[in-house]
């Protein structure tokens, strides 16, 4: 409430001057909206003037406020409710009833992309026949660069002939930022593929592997057609094969890989293979690429993928809402694996390795020609071993209101709601007095 200078308004009878401006806002969104603003007198002591002032007051209101006025006049319980709130199509709802939005936190794209990643140049933990190069070599050898149109490219060396036993140059980068939950959306035109090629887009926790977890969002070998999602954790985390997802649980020797313990089952973890034949390899690239997204919060970890022609509008608009995306291709439920306990301080990683524990050991049954070591020598075999990335965006979860209790509780009385209540109480009393 802000008082008006009464000396500026001539009075002919004792009057109550009412002036207020009612606002509401959404915390953290920078949104502020004035829903009602009145600066006018209401004469209630001279009852024959009151109808004029009440009519003026109501006519100054927009239709939505008139409806609210009627409700307040004839339903006193609503005097203590909050003012109307703006609706957002991108609102999402947690199982406990609280609402939230996904708000952009980090945008990795364009010329500054590599400013936020470190280049790994150590030995490959997966025993690939690869030589990971530092940033200087990667840029000078054309293995990492940003095109004039802003597209980010990372690739394995496809120009150098190698002798026996020589490793092929490639890149592995890791984000400086670490995350504990988030919505990760990768927009890419091409993912690496080819006989002997083993790429991955993944996140991994700090500390001793696998105690802080690993999530493989894109991973495959050779000319495979189905992307494989996997989780690697400490002991005690399990994949529920009956959860809601469209993919197929991976198997080892005919047994479902549902134990996510990275130290069990030859480090296979728990995994799901996408159903689509175009989720990895040449068919994915032929579709013009697409979107891979991982949603990680207290409700679990889910992975989604979309072809270029089927990307949800909310992603293109920068206001993603996974609840509109349908069933995920893979999902790890919190009832069988606590996503906040088993996954901690994750960095984002892109890499391209060759042969190694998976691509090398599976080469003989892959349908690829010769041996993996021989395949490695000819650079023309690796023309498709490239990442072509439009952007990688990370969104954080912004809670908009609190948890909804199972028991009904009265709404809190705020200054704004009290103003509404007292204002309309005075109007109502004045009307009665004028009858």
Residue 104 phi/psi, 5° resolution? Answer: -60, 125
Establish whether 298 is a catalytic residue: no
Dihedral, 256, 259, 265, 271 alpha carbons, nearest 10: 60
> Distance of alpha carbon 78 from its chain centroid, rounded?
36
Q: Which of 190, 150, 184, 219 is nearest to 289 (CA)?
A: 190
Give the residue carrying structure tokens 């996140």: 203
The active-site residue out of 6, 105, 219, 333 is: 219
N-term to C-term CA, the chain: 29
The active-site residue out of 137, 214, 225, 333 is: 214
Which pair of tokens denotes residue 25? 């806002």
Q: How far is CA 12 from CA 45, 46, 57, in A?
A: 11, 10, 19
* DSSP-assigned beta bridge partners for residue 117: 175
Q: Which of 356, 291, 307 is nearest to 156 (CA)?
A: 356
Establish whether 219 is a catalytic residue: yes
The upper half-sphere exposure of residue 255, i.e. CA atoms within 13 Å in the direction of its Cβ, equals: 7
The packing angle between helices 50-59 and 415-434, to 10°, is 140
Supply the residues annotated as catalytic: 214, 219
């Amino acid at each position: 409430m802000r008082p008006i200078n009464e000396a500026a308004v001539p009075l002919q009878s004792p009057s109550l001057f009412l002036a207020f401006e009612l606002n509401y806002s959404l915390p953290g969104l920078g949104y502020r909206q004035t829903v009602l603003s009145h600066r006018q007198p209401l004469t209630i002591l001279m009852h024959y003037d009151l109808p004029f002032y009440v009519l003026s007051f109501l006519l100054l209101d927009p239709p939505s406020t008139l409806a609210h006025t009627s409700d307040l006049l004839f339903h006193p319980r609503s005097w203590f409710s909050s003012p109307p709130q703006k609706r957002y199509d991108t609102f999402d709802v947690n199982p406990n009833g609280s609402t939230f939005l996904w708000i952009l936190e980090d945008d990795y794209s364009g010329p500054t992309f590599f400013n936020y990643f470190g280049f790994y140049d150590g030995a490959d933990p997966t025993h690939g026949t690869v030589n990971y190069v530092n940033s200087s070599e990667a840029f000078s050898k054309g293995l990492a660069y940003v095109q004039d149109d802003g597209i980010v490219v990372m690739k394995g060396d496809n120009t150098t002939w190698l002798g026996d036993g020589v490793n092929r140059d490639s890149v592995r980068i890791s984000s400086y930022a670490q995350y504990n939950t988030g919505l990760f959306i990768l927009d890419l035109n091409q993912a690496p593929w080819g006989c002997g090629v083993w790429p991955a887009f993944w996140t991994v926790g700090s500390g001793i592997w696998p105690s802080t977890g690993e999530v493989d969002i894109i991973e495959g070998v050779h000319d495979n057609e189905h992307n494989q999602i996997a989780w690697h954790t400490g002991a005690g985390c399990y994949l529920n094969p009956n959860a809601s997802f469209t993919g197929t649980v991976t198997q080892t020797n005919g047994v479902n890989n549902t134990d996510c313990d990275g130290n069990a089952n030859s480090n296979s973890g728990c995994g799901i293979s996408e159903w689509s034949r175009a989720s990895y390899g040449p068919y994915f690239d032929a579709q013009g690429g697409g979107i891979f997204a991982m949603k990680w919060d207290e409700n679990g970890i889910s992975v989604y993928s979309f072809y270029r022609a089927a990307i949800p509008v909310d992603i293109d608009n920068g206001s993603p809402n996974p609840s509109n995306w349908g069933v995920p291709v893979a999902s790890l439920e919190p009832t069988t694996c606590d996503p906040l306990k088993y996954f901690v301080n994750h960095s984002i990683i892109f890499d391209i390795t060759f042969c190694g524990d998976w691509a090398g050991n599976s080469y003989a049954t892959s349908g690829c020609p010769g041996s993996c070591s021989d395949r490695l020598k000819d650079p023309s075999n690796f023309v498709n071993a490239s990442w072509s990335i439009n952007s990688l965006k990370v969104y954080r979860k912004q809670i908009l209101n609190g948890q909804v209790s199972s028991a009904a509780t009265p709404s809190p009385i705020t200054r704004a709601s009290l103003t509404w209540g007292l204002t309309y109480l005075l109007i109502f009393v004045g009307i009665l007095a004028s009858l």
